[in-house]
């Protein structure tokens, strides 16, 4: 049986780092960035993972994963295919690198029969041809009502991606440079591409010719496959 894990929200009970955490999860071979968090914050999530069996959902604090400073593991939970709505507690073991990190994730598990889908968009990699900002870009995409953070990028850089989106019909994938989206400094729209629910492996070109992201240029390698 195929099931889908839905991340609904995350609450920070205690951070691993003094000034806030940069988080990500791994699940079933996929890595997903989560919002940056400070103590007491709760933020909505909209990530979905398709899986079979009983894979582990692991939470990490991102330190850049250098050889001299590996990312901090906080905790993990085994996820089964049984339908459920639950809150998972992720608390680092005392004395570990992720300590005193402590989080709660609200999640749902549904079977494929309860989620009508027609296709899955998989982001494979992103390459920066030219940045929007002088010293590098903080990027995100929006697709089918979902917002996903991407790696920070500098000119000439290529990064592997593993994000997946479940969708129906034809949708637009939009790329933005994150400026905090304040009223006085909105995020910079770069470009958008229309994604039909047809099987494909392709490279999409995102290039801005106006606005705050003028001259920014990225390519995204993606796959579209039939839905579960």
Taking only the tens place, the pLDDT of each residue in 139-189 is 999 998 889 999 999 999 999 999 999 888 778 999 999 887 777 678 899
Residue 51 sits in the same domain as residue 28? yes
Q: Which of 114, 145, 169 is the last residue of a domain?
A: 114
Residue 110 sits in the same domain as residue 124? no
Residue 59 sits in the same domain as residue 93? yes
Contact in structure between 142 and 174 (CB atoms under 8 Å)? yes
Residue 140 sits in the same domain as residue 196? yes
Q: Which of 90, 114, 138 is the last residue of a domain?
A: 114
Q: Which two tokens stand for residue 61?
A: 């604090």
Residue 80 sits in the same domain as residue 9? yes
Q: How many CA atoms lie within 13 A of 94 on its CB side?
A: 0
The pTM of the whole model exceeds 0.95: no
Residue 58 sits in the same domain as residue 128? no
- Span 40-56, average pLDDT: 88
Taking only the tens place, the pLDDT of each residue in 101-144 is 999 999 999 886 544 457 899 999 999 999 999 999 999 999 98
Residue 106 sits in the same domain as residue 136? no
Per the omega criterion (within 30 degrees of 0), is the bond before 100 cis? yes
What is the distance between the alpha carbons of residues 189 and 72, in angstroms, rounded to a whole number? 33
Beta strand segments in 150-215, E: 158-160, 164-167, 171-177, 188-195, 200-207
Q: Which of 114, 144, 165 is the last residue of a domain?
A: 114
CA separation, residue 139 to residues 27, 47, 116, 224 (Å): 22, 17, 30, 21
Task: Quote the number of domains for the chain.
Answer: 2
In terms of residue numbers, what domain contains 26? 3-114
Contact in structure between 90 and 104 (CB atoms under 8 Å)? yes
What is the distance between the alpha carbons of residues 77 and 83, in angstroms, rounded to a whole number? 16
CATH number reported for the structural domain that contains residue 163 in this entry:
2.60.40.150
Query: 122 phi and psi, to 5 degrees?
Result: -115, 125
Give the residue among 171, 204, 210, 172 at the shortest CA–CA distance from 188. Answer: 210
Taking only the tens place, the pLDDT of each residue in 187-211 is 899 999 888 777 888 888 898 888 8
What is the distance between the alpha carbons of residues 22 and 35, in angstroms, rounded to a whole number? 7
Residue 179 sits in the same domain as residue 97? no
Could you tell me how many residues make up the chain?
228
- Span 84-110, average pLDDT: 92
Contact in structure between 223 and 162 (CB atoms under 8 Å)? no
Residue with tokens 């949708």: 171
Residue 104 sits in the same domain as residue 123? no
Query: 38 phi and psi, to 5 degrees?
Result: -125, 165
Residue 124 sits in the same domain as residue 41? no
Residue 109 sits in the same domain as residue 138? no
């Amino acid at each position: 049986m195929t099931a889908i894990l839905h991340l609904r929200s995350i609450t920070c009970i205690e951070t691993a780092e003094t000034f806030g955490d940069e988080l990500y999860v791994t699940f079933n071979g996929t890595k997903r960035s989560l919002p940056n968090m400070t103590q007491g914050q709760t933020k909505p999530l909209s990530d979905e993972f398709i899986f079979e069996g009983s894979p582990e959902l692991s939470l990490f604090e991102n330190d850049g994963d250098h050889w001299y400073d590996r990312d901090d593991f906080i905790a993990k939970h085994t996820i089964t295919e049984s339908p459920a709505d639950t809150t998972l507690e992720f608390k680092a073991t005392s004395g570990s690198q992720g300590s005193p990190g402590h989080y709660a994730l609200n999640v749902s598990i549904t079977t494929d029969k309860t989620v009508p889908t027609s296709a899955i968009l998989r982001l494979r990699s992103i390459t920066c041809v030219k940045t929007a900002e002088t010293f590098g870009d903080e990027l995100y995409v929006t697709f089918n009502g979902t917002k996903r953070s991407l790696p920070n990028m500098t000119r000439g850089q290529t990064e592997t991606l593993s994000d997946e989106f479940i969708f129906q019909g034809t949708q637009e994938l939009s790329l933005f440079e994150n400026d905090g989206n304040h009223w006085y400094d909105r995020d910079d729209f770069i470009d958008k591409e229309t994604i039909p629910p047809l099987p494909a492996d392709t490279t999409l070109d995102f290039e801005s010719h106006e606005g705050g992201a003028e001259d920014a240029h990225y390519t995204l390698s993606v796959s579209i496959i039939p839905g579960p």
